[in-house]
Structure formats: structure tokens, C-alpha cells
């Protein structure tokens, strides 16, 4: 077996914790629902090639303003389903 095959079969990638999931986990039910609505608005707009009501940059700024340590790139990965949540 080649070294590449061994690596692909036996070396599991180290998954990063999704910062967006960490934020969602500590929010109360109403806050979590509000953030999820914004996330779904951005996702559905991207999928339908339309203009979202909210932006990732805006959502990130609001979360940071309220004390959460999250980056725009983390939020983009989560919204694009490219994070460890998927």
C-alpha cells in the first residue's frame, strides 16, 4: 500500500470546533432562533442567487458587539455548510 493510501485511510483530519456552533450553543432559545433565522436568510438567498436581507459581515459584527469571539470567515464556513458541523 502506498504512503498516500495509508495516510488517507489511517490519518484522520483534526476537526476544528465550529465557532458559530459554539455561539449558538450558549444563546437562549429566542436568541438562537433569531440568529438561525438570519443564517437561513443568508443561506437561502445564496442558494437562490438572490440578495439576502442580512449579510455575514453584519451578523458577525452584531455577535462581536455582544461579546462573542467569532470571525466572519467562521460564520461564512458555517453558513456555507463547510464547517465541522456538517
7-65 tens-digit pLDDT: 777 766 666 789 999 999 999 999 999 999 999 999 999 999 999 999 999 999 999 99
Q: Is residue 13 part of a domain?
A: no
Give the pLDDT of residue 7. 74
Q: Is residue 85 part of a domain?
A: no
Q: Is residue 11 part of a domain?
A: no
The structural domain count of the chain equals 1
Q: Is residue 84 part of a domain?
A: no
Retrieve residue 9's grid coordinates. 485511510
More confident site: 66 or 84:
66
Q: Is residue 2 part of a domain?
A: no
In this structure, the number of other CB atoms found within 10 A of the CB of residue 59 comes to 21
Residue 16 and residue 75 in contact, taking contact as beta carbons nearer than 8 Å: no
What is the domain extent for residue 65?
18-79
pTM attached to this predicted model: 0.79
Amino acid at each position: 500500500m502506498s504512503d498516500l493510501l495509508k495516510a488517507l485511510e489511517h490519518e484522520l483530519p483534526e476537526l476544528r470546533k465550529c465557532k458559530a456552533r459554539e455561539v449558538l450553543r450558549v444563546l437562549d432559545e429566542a436568541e438562537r432562533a433569531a440568529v438561525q433565522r438570519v443564517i437561513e436568510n443568508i443561506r437561502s438567498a445564496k442558494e437562490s442567487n438572490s440578495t439576502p436581507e442580512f449579510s455575514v459581515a453584519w451578523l458577525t459584527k452584531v455577535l462581536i458587539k455582544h461579546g462573542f469571539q467569532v470571525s466572519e470567515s467562521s460564520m461564512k464556513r458555517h453558513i456555507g455548510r463547510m464547517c465541522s458541523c456538517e
